Chains A and B, each alone.
Chain A
Amino acid sequence: MMPQAAAALTEGAALPAGTGAVIAARGLDLTFRTADGPVQALSDVSLEIGRGEFVSFIGPSGCGKTTFLRVVAGLEHPTGGAIAVNGMTPDAARQARAYGYVFQAAGLYPWRTIAGNVKLPLEIMGFSKAEQESRVRKVLSLVELDGFAGKYPWQLSGGMQQRASIARALSFDAGILLMDEPFGALDEIVRDRLNEELMRLWAATGKTVGFVTHSIPEAVYLSTKIVVMSPRPGRIIDVIESDLPAERPLDIRDTPEFLALAHRVRVGLRAGHAYD
C-alpha cells in the first residue's frame, strides 16, 4: 500500500464523530450488483466535511466520486458503514431539503422559461407565490442571468444553461450544494469563467460544497479540500488541505503554491493507478 493512502485512511478513521461536521462518513462500503457480478463502488470511505468547506472529489472514472456524492444525497444507499448529513441520515436530510444537487447536464425543462425552471423546486416545496418570485429574482441575479428570466433554455448557451441549473439548486437556500461534474461538458474558456463565478458565489453564500470533477486545475483552484480517489475498489487515497488564500484570481494558477498542490494531486492520481 502507498504511504499516502495509508495516511489518508488512518486520518479519516481517527476523526471524531460529527462535531460540527456537515457531512460525516465512516467506513462506507457500497457494492453494486451487476450482470457481471458485484462491483465495489466504494470501499471503506471515511471523510468529514465541515461547514462552509469547498471539497472537490477527483479521480478517474469508476473511482466512486459520483457514487459518494449520490450517497450523500440519498440517491444511493451504502451497503456498509455509516454516514450523517447535518447529523441525520441522508434520506432524512433529503426530506429536510438539506442540499441542492447540480448534475452534469443542466436538465432544464424545455417547456419552462428560465424563471420557470428555477421556480420548479420552489413549487414542489410549497413556497408562496410571492416568495417564489422574489427568490427566483434573487438567485438569477446571483448567477448573473437577470435579463434572461423570460427566455427558454434553447435560447441560452450551454454555460448559461448550467448557471440556470445552479440557480435552481440555490433557489431554496439549502446549506449544502452537491455538484456532479457541473462544467464537464463545457469548453475551457466557459469553464474558467464559471469557476470564477462559482468562487464568488461560494464566498457570497457560505455554502458547503461537494464538487466532483475530472480536472486537476479546477479542483485545486476551487477547493479548500481535495479528495483524491482511485478505482477498483473506489476509495480515498489522499485528502489534501489547500493552503491557497481565500481570494483567488484566475492567475493564481500560475503561482508555485498552486502548482505544488496540483503536483500533489497528480502524484496521488498516479499512485491510485499503480494498483491496477
Chain B
Amino acid sequence: MADAAVTASPGAGVAGRGRFAARAARAVWPVLMVVGVTVGLWYAACLPMNVKESLNQAERAGAVIVPEGGQARRDASPWGLMAQNPAHLGGVWSQDRPRLPAPHQVAVELYETTVGMALAGRAFSNRSLFTHAWVTLSATLLGFGIGTALGILLAVGIVHNRAMDMSVMPWAIASQTIPILALAPMIVVVLNSVGISGLLPKALISAYLSFFPVVVGMVKGLRSPEAAQLDLLWTYNATPAQTLWKLRLPASMPYLFASLKVGVAASLVGAIVGELPTGAVAGLGARLLAGSYYGQTVQIWSALFAAAILAALLVGLIGLLQRVVLGRMGMGR
C-alpha cells in the first residue's frame, strides 16, 4: 500500500486509483479462492453420487465393469466401485439425469435457458428462465411491497399505541413459527375458493414472510431517537404525527434498509413456496417442481441458481438504494 502510494507520487488522484485497484485486487483473490474450492468440491462430489449410473452406462456400451451387472452393484459402496473401476469414471460429469449435476452442466443449462434463448429471439418463451424468473419476481415484488407497508404500519401502531405495543408483537412472532410450507396451500386454497387466484395468493404468502423483519426493524428504528430529541419536539408542542414525520421516520431509515434486505430475500422464498402447492405452470417454483417430477436434476439446479442470483440482485439493489438514500440524508458515514 505504502509502496503503491510512493511509486504513484506524481498525482494524488493516481495514487488514489492505484490504492483502489490494489484493494479491489486484494478483495478479489479470497472470493476467487472460495469459489474455486467450492467448485472443486462440487466436481469431486459428483464422483460418488453419480458413479453407479455412470458405470451402468459404460457397461451397456461394452466396457468391463467390476463387479459385473447392475444388480450386483446396487448395494455396493460408491467408494469401492470408484476404486475398482478407475478407468470408467469419466461419465459421472456428463449424465443426462445425474443425481448431482456437474457445475458446467448447470452453467450450460442456465446459459441455454436464458442468454441462449434470448439470442434465438425467444427470451420469453415458456422454456426460458427469464419467463419463469419474471413470474416469480412479480409475485415477490408485489408481496414485498405489501409486506413492507404492513410492517411499517404495524410498527407505527406499536410505537404509538400501548395496547398494540403489548399485543401485536407476540402475534407477529407466533405467525413466523408456523411453517410456511404448511400454511401456503391453505392460503392458496382459501383464496381460490373466493375467486382470487394467480398473482395475489403468491404475493400474500410472500408478504406473510416479509412483513416480520420490517416490523421488528422499524419498531427499533422508530424508537431510535434519543430522549433529548423527543424532549426538544415536546418543547415545540409538536403533535405525535409531526414527531413521526419529522423525527421518527427519518431516524429509522438505517433500520428500515437493514430490514428490507432480509425482507426481500424472505419475499422471494415466499413466492417460490407459493408456487409449489398451486401446480403452477410458470415460475421458478414451478420449474423446481416440474424438475423433480421428471427427475430433471439439471433443471432443478439451474432453477435454484436462478433463484439465488435473483435474490442476490434484489438484495444488492436494496443495498445500492440504501447507500444513495442514507448518503443523501447524511447518515451514510
Contacts and interface: CB of A to CB of B under 8 A. Distances in A.
Contact of B235 (A94, A153, A154): A94
B233 interface: yes
A36 to B, nearest CB: 20
A68 to B, nearest CB: 15
A175 interface: no
Contact of B246 (A73, A75, A120): A120
A193 to B, nearest CB: 24
A107 B246 contact: no
A75 B242 contact: no
A111 B253 CA distance: 11
A75 B328 CA distance: 33
Contact of A107 (B229, B238, B250, B333): B229
Contacts of B331: 110-111
Interface string B209-252: 00000000000000000101101111111100010001100100
A95 B228 contact: no
A75 B238 contact: no
Contact of A124 (B242, B250, B330, B333): B242
A152 interface: yes
Range of interface residues on B (Cβ < 8 Å)? 20 to 34
Most buried by B among A74, A94, A95, A124: A124
Interface in A72-111: 73-75, 94-95, 97, 99-101, 103, 105, 107, 109-111
Nearest to A95: B237
A110 B234 contact: no
Contacts of A97: 236-237
A125 interface: yes
Given A152-B330, A154-B333, A73 B235 contact: yes
A99 B233 contact: no
A121 interface: yes
A103 B228 CA distance: 7
B330 A101 contact: no
A123 interface: yes
A111 B329 CA distance: 4
A121 B242 CA distance: 11
Interface string B7-49: 0000000000000000000000000000000000000000000
A109 B330 CA distance: 9
A121 B228 contact: no
Nearest to B331: A110
A109 B247 contact: yes
Contact of B231 (A95, A103, A109, A110): A103
Interface of B is mostly: helix
B330 A75 contact: no
A272 to B, nearest CB: 27
Contacts of A74: 234-235
Interface string A121-132: 101110000000
Contacts of B333: 154
A95 B237 CA distance: 6
Given A111-B329, A111-B330, A99 B235 contact: yes
B281 to A, nearest CB: 47
Contacts of B236: 97, 120-121, 124-125
A247 to B, nearest CB: 32
Contacts of A101: 231-232, 235
Contacts of A99: 235
Contact of A111 (B232, B233, B238, B250): B250
B246 A103 contact: no
Interface in A131-165: 152-154
A94 B237 contact: yes
A97 B234 CA distance: 10
A232 to B, nearest CB: 23
Contacts of B329: 110-111
A101 B238 CA distance: 14
B235 A75 contact: yes
B249 to A, nearest CB: 10
Most buried by A among B235, B246, B247: B235
A102 B235 CA distance: 10
Nearest to B237: A95
A124 B233 contact: yes
5 contacts: A99-B235, A105-B226, A107-B228, A121-B236, A125-B236
Closest 8 CB pairs of A and B: A111-B329, A110-B330, A101-B235, A124-B238, A124-B236, A121-B236, A152-B330, A103-B228
Given A74-B234, A154-B333, 8 more contacts: A75-B231, A97-B236, A101-B232, A107-B228, A110-B331, A111-B329, A124-B246, A154-B330
Interface of A: 73-75, 94-95, 97, 99-101, 103, 105, 107, 109-111, 120-121, 123-125, 152-154
